[in-house]
Structure 1
Amino acid sequence: MTTTDRAPVPPSTPPAGPDRGSWPRGRHRPGRHRPGRARVAGVDAARGLAVLGMIVAHVAVAAGSSWLVQAVNGRAAVLFAVLGGVSLALMAAPVLAAPSARNRVWLRRRIAVRGLLLVVLGLLLAEVSSGPMVILVVYGVLCWLLLPVLFAPARALAVAAAVGAVAGPLLSWVLRARFGSPADADGRTVLGATVHLSDLTSPAGLVHALDTVLLSGAYPVLTWMPFLLLGMAVGRLDLRTAGTRLVAGGAAGAVLGYGGSWLALDVLGGRDALLASVAPVADRLGVPAELALQLLGGSALGTVATTTPAWLLAATPHSGSPFDVVGAAGVAVAVLGLCLLTARYGGRLLAPLTATGALALTLYAGHIALLASLGGWPQTAPWAATALVAVLAVASAWAWRGLAGRGPLEALVHSVSVRAAGSPPTVGDRGSDRAPMPGGATPREAGDMDSTTPGRAADTIGYRGSSGPERGEAR
């Protein structure tokens, strides 16, 4: 949610010999042409779609039965998470090319600080949110938890994601069935909990916050870790040519997740077990069991019910069941692949969308503040409110990106994390050579590590673009 990603393009002519010295620093000016580099606009375009999907899910709540709201519900957040993993992989790429201990420590320190900033921002946004469940606290914690595997091989990351997609939801169900879920003062189960500042003021609140982040909240680590692991594995690919494979692989994952849930529920009898589990509720409400199942199954806010293991067979959006995790992850990968293909053959048409994705963190915080200021209007005119917020988001991002480049919150996170991480290390085990980048390009072609302005730390996530109004910075 906080990155602008770029990938190196192999140079048409052999690169010049490596420059000697420390990790290069600098920032490219807008419109400055640099041969041999191409912006991976598809990554930002996918993030832009996630921003718009998030706006629909949060603003058009009153139109929850609409097919559009149903389509983006839960999946927009999963797309953000997968793209977050892609960004972490791109951050690690230069260090993987120059895998000295000093380089690794510097990057881990920088990502840890970024995670802390996201946690702080998430806590602040949770205090002003009028309804949206803020994910940033969990996202920051995931940044910390992924530091040990930041430089793991792509295959290991993919295997870990696949295992976690099944084992995480199962372990979550077992632990919640054994120890219960958080309850309010009246003893009612709390659904979709997020961490608030008040949770940090007492030992009981800290325990609640830990349970919310790791197990029972709206975005529990146990079921969200696989999305970032998958994104990290995808980010190890050559994104300039991986679009078709990602579309095919993502489609297969979506079919496996959603098709597998249909098979388990409607062919193998899982729905009968669910109907039996909701029968007491249906009797109390005086409604058919099917309607009770629809009401209860559609209210998943991060976790599935523990009344019967059959809930793990459903693929309800944002439920965290194995089928939901696999299906939503497949959709996210397929969307990324489609955006990469579209950007490859018609990238200029995506300019407003890529600008929106480049300012995702700023727009995320901004739309939460704006939604709180709109009061009850979105409830009475959901689509008018959604259109207003979406148009404001795209227009402001496009204008800001052309005039100033990096978004205000993106600039803050970048600046603080780079400064807190200390002086950038030297590149290469001998502290001299610039590191080659994936795909055969050198850092001069990759651009993120090119030296232009002394005193400014280099971006190490993504790679600078070739021309046009876009800034060549990573978020």
Structure 2
Amino acid sequence: MTTLDPLTAAGRLPAGSPAPSAPPEPRPEPPRSRLAGVDAARGLAVIGMIVAHVAAADAAAPLWQAVNGRAAVLFGVLGGVSLALMSRVALRSGDPVSRAGLRRRVAVRAVLLAALGIGLVPISSGPMVILPVYGVEFLLVLPLLFTRARTLAWTAAVWAVAGPLLSFALRSRMEVTTLGGTIAPSDLTSFSAAGEAVVRLLLTGAYPVLTWMPFLLAGMAIGRLDLVRSAGRLIAGGLVGATLGYGGSWLAVDVLGGRQALVDAVAPVAGKLAVPADQVLELLSSSSYGTVPTTSPAWLLTATPHSGSPFDVVGAGGVAVAVLGVCLLAARGVPWLLAPLGATGALALTLYCGHIAALALVQDTAAIGPWPVTAMFVAGAVLAASGWRSLAGRGPLEALLHTASARTGGAR
């Protein structure tokens, strides 16, 4: 059955004449389901970091071990996704004015994140603040804001291997006396202190830019995709990355003889402490402070959380990508189930800073226990985020970043 064009049916055009071509429809805005999935994944990242910080006294617990290191990596990947989503309109238009404005917006956000993180360090009672590192990374990716997804993905993949190797080579020639840390206000009091802080941010700290950049780059590559349709591919790709990272480390250490090299590396320390070398190795393999030791190249074969080894970067990055895919898939099927997580993720910056400040006020958790306190922190964060989101929209710190960066970049 042939359906006539309305103009032909009305007799305004001869029958059989081609109908005038309709103007192209504007490309629709990104569907809300995609944003809900991203927000839910960000909510999981925030909750994971709360668990890692508040329940640190019970580091042997399976849940703590599951989130340790991986929650921060998920947050880093999602930071890259957010940057890619911000740049979509300017990327499609190709307008140099829009692109320049977006770069200014990102630069302002970077500076504010770094400043906020530096101000948060003095009140932190233990958690190592990651915000200054995010600020530096945002500045470093400014030239890549409009790079194609494939280029970003390949850059992230190469960096995931080359970054840890370069870090090991550089630190092997340095005398590193402190573990972890980022940058504090006291580091800005002299040129020498500032120089040491820069080295800490880039190379030797808790979240060294040299080994954390692949997460942001991978997130930017993912953000270039049609996220609604790519959920399954992200889950599969993430599982492949997790298998390569953690499975590859197990193969290298426990099957191909890497463990003996590690035992030999810790033998001098074990001798001084008068404890078995295997016990020292198990302790060092439970978690790290941002880098692997440089006493032996065999440390690069481990996948210790927060170690920045190639296997840790690939494995933790794979887990983050898979979690994002699961959240995107769930947002399509059961969006109502993700509403509390989505609200939590929408206020991620406020909740991250708020839980560090609140944790500093908690003097003694021993009488209650780390997990009841953790449950109260998580419940408080989710409830506060849900209430604030429904009543006021953006979180207070999110609104500050948006307003400051939008005015600078010429956006609303």
What TM-score, normalized to structure 1?
0.80
Deviation of 1:380 after TM superposition, in Å, equals 5.6
Instruction: Tell me the distance in 1 between the aligned counterparts of 2:349 and 2:199.
Output: 25
Deviation of 1:35 after TM superposition, in Å, equals 9.9
Relative to its length, the structure with more helix (as a share) is 2
Q: Does 1:85 align with 2:73?
A: no
Aligned AA for 1:263? L
Q: Is the 8 A contact 1:95 1:103 kept in 2?
A: yes
Residue 307 of structure 1 corresponds to 295
Deviation of 1:420 after TM superposition, in Å, equals 2.1
Larger relative contact order, structure 1 or 2 (CA cutoff 8 Å, min sep 6)? 1
Deviation of 1:100 after TM superposition, in Å, equals 1.8
Superimposed CA distance per residue, residues 133-192 of structure 1 (whole angstroms, 9 cap, x where no aligned partner): 0000010010000000110010000000000000000000000001232xxxxxxx2111
Deviation of 1:288 after TM superposition, in Å, equals 1.0
Q: Is the 8 A contact 1:60 1:378 kept in 2?
A: no
Residue 197 of structure 1 corresponds to 185
Q: Is the 8 A contact 1:75 1:317 kept in 2?
A: yes
Aligned AA for 2:196? H
Q: Is the 8 A contact 2:287 2:305 kept in 1?
A: no
Residue 390 of structure 1 corresponds to 378
Instruction: Tell me the distance in 2 between the aligned counterparts of 1:275 and 1:171.
Output: 24
Q: Does 1:320 align with 2:314?
A: no
Deviation of 1:349 after TM superposition, in Å, equals 1.1
Superimposed CA distance per residue, residues 16-59 of structure 1 (whole angstroms, 9 cap, x where no aligned partner): 877xxxxxxxxxxxxxxx99943421111100111110011000
Q: Does 1:275 align with 2:229?
A: no
Q: How many residues are treated as equivalent by the alignment? A: 389
Q: Is the 8 A contact 2:180 2:206 kept in 1?
A: yes
Aligned AA for 1:244? G
Q: Does 1:331 align with 2:319?
A: yes
Superimposed CA distance per residue, residues 336-378 of structure 1 (whole angstroms, 9 cap, x where no aligned partner): 0001111110001111110000000000000000000011226
Deviation of 1:401 after TM superposition, in Å, equals 0.4
Distance 1:231 1:255, change over 3 A: same
Q: Is the 8 A contact 2:33 2:228 kept in 1?
A: no
Residue 161 of structure 2 corresponds to 166
- Structure with the greater alpha carbon radius of gyration: 2
Residue 341 of structure 1 corresponds to 329
Residue 5 of structure 2 corresponds to none
Q: Is the 8 A contact 1:59 1:378 kept in 2?
A: no
Residue 343 of structure 2 corresponds to 355
Residue 38 of structure 1 corresponds to 32
Instruction: Tell me the distance in 2 between the aligned counterparts of 1:306 and 1:379.
Output: 39
Aligned AA for 1:266? D
Q: Does 1:58 align with 2:46?
A: no
Instruction: Tell me the distance in 1 between the aligned counterparts of 2:297 and 2:57.
Output: 31
Q: Does 1:225 align with 2:223?
A: no
Instruction: Tell me the distance in 2 between the aligned counterparts of 1:306 and 1:37.
Output: 47
Q: Secondary structure at the match of 1:178?
A: coil
Aligned AA for 2:163? G
Instruction: Tell me the distance in 2 between the aligned counterparts of 1:179 and 1:231.
Output: 31
Percent of aligned pairs with the same amino acid: 62
Residue 371 of structure 1 corresponds to 359
Q: Secondary structure at the match of 2:172?
A: helix
Aligned AA for 1:140? G
Deviation of 1:297 after TM superposition, in Å, equals 2.5
Q: Which of 201, 206, 209 pairs up with 2:197?
A: 209
Aligned AA for 2:32? A
Residue 117 of structure 1 corresponds to 112
Distance 1:408 1:402, change over 3 A: same
Residue 387 of structure 2 corresponds to 399
What TM-score, normalized to structure 2?
0.92
Q: Does 1:138 align with 2:133?
A: yes
Unmatched runs of 5 consecutive residues or more in structure 2: 1-21
Aligned AA for 2:274? G
Runs of 4+ residues over 4 Å off in structure 1: 14-18, 34-37
Aligned AA for 1:372? A
Superposed, 1:228-307 pairs within 5 Å as: 228-307=216-295
